[in-house]
């Protein structure tokens, strides 16, 4: 895994946007995988600056990683709403090319299969943006998720419900307990992955993802299987990595 270090979250966002812009090059219609949560917000702000400066994503297709099950699409914290607010608008995406799992479907199992088919029909994901949960989840692949898992309905870990209660007025009772998420296997099929993490609360998960054994107990550790992963970290998120994992010029 390639690791890029920035002093703070804003810098990590700028660095991650630079990686993405360079990877997309002048590809006219890339397929992006987009994450929600607080982690990618600095990245989306930096990418939005690039769009203002001329980066054209109007023909990009995008697939969100996940969505809560049962949360109305128009709830402000549904990932449909978050993606519209933080991704589609700022990045100038065409809403008709942006897909989010149908968490309100009466048949979420069928919705999961449809989502996999949509990704395949788009030719797969060129570049997947990821955050990481404090418990090492990616998307909503909680501990216990196996590396060949596909898009499916999952139960959220108590830690994730507690962590995400900040988006629901601090009330864990308002956080949905199930989600539809792309699987680890789905994520690993994307051609390139950029994971952004910042803050001390992610330091342990980052260190275990990079240096620990590949284990379902820490789903992000399966990213070690992918040969094009860039982790963009701030100093706090990188603070528990051994020096052997850090870029040679880190700290100079």
* Active-site annotation holds for 137: yes
Contacts of residue 9, defined as CB under 8 A and 6 or more positions apart, other chains included, come to 42, 198, 199, 234
DSSP β-ladder status, 127-130 and 192-197: parallel
- The 3-state DSSP class for residue 9 equals helix
- The 3-state DSSP class for residue 129 equals strand
* Active-site annotation holds for 141: no
- Which among 110, 106, 183 has a CA at the least distance from the CA of 146? 183
Name the residue nearer to ligand GLP (CB basis): 101 or 139.
139
Instruction: Find the angle CA(28)-CA(119)-CA(98) to the nearest 5 degrees.
Output: 60
Catalytic one of 86, 135, 141, 192: 135
- The 3-state DSSP class for residue 178 equals strand
The rounded distance, in Å, linking the Cα atoms of 143 and 210 is 16
Tokens, residue 141: 């692949």
- The residue ranges that bind ligand GLP (CB under 6 A) are 35-39, 65-66, 131-133, 139-140, 160, 164
Name the residue nearer to ligand GLP (CB basis): 147 or 219.
219
Name the residue nearer to ligand GLP (CB basis): 10 or 55.
10
Catalytic one of 66, 102, 163, 192: 66
Catalytic one of 126, 142, 163, 234: 142
Name the residue nearer to ligand GLP (CB basis): 55 or 167.
167
Name the minimum Å distance from CB 132 to ligand GLP: 6
Contacts of residue 89, defined as CB under 8 A and 6 or more positions apart, other chains included, come to none
Contact 153, 108 (CB under 8 A): yes
Name the minimum Å distance from CB 25 to ligand GLP: 26
Instruction: Find the angle CA(147)-CA(149)-CA(151) to the nearest 5 degrees.
Output: 140
Name the minimum Å distance from CB 58 to ligand GLP: 25
Name the residue nearer to ligand GLP (CB basis): 133 or 147.
133
Name the minimum Å distance from CB 70 to ligand GLP: 15
Catalytic one of 67, 86, 102, 137: 137
Name the residue nearer to ligand GLP (CB basis): 33 or 147.
33
Name the minimum Å distance from CB 167 to ligand GLP: 8
Name the minimum Å distance from CB 35 to ligand GLP: 4
The rounded distance, in Å, linking the Cα atoms of 213 and 207 is 11
Indicate the Cα dihedral angle 217, 219, 223, 229, nearest 10°.
Answer: -130
Q: Which residues are catalytic?
A: 66, 135, 137, 142
């Amino acid at each position: 895994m390639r690791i890029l270090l920035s002093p703070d979250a804003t810098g990590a966002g700028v660095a991650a946007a630079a990686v993405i812009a360079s990877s997309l090059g002048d590809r006219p219609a890339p397929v992006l995988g987009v994450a929600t949560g607080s982690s990618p917000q600095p990245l989306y702000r930096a990418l939005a600056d690039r769009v203002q400066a001329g980066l054209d994503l109007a023909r990009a297709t995008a697939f969100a990683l996940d969505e809560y099950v049962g949360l109305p699409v128009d709830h402000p914290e549904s990932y449909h709403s978050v993606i519209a607010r933080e991704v589609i608008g700022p990045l100038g995406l065409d809403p008709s090319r942006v897909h989010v799992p149908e968490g309100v479907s009466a048949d979420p199992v069928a919705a999961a299969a449809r989502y996999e088919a949509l990704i395949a029909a788009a030719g797969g994901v060129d570049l997947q943006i990821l955050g990481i949960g404090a418990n090492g989840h990616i998307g909503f692949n909680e501990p216990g998720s196996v590396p060949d898992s596909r898009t499916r309905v999952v139960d959220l870990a108590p830690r994730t419900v507690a962590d995400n209660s900040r988006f629901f007025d601090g009330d864990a009772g308002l956080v949905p307990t199930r989600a539809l998420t792309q699987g680890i296997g789905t994520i690993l099929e994307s051609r390139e992955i950029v994971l952004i993490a910042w803050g001390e609360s992610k330091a342990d998960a980052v260190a275990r993802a990079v240096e620990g054994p590949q284990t379902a107990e820490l789903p992000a550790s399966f990213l070690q299987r992918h040969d094009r992963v860039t982790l963009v970290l701030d100093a706090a998120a990188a603070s528990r990595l051994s020096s052997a994992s850090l870029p040679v010029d880190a700290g100079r």
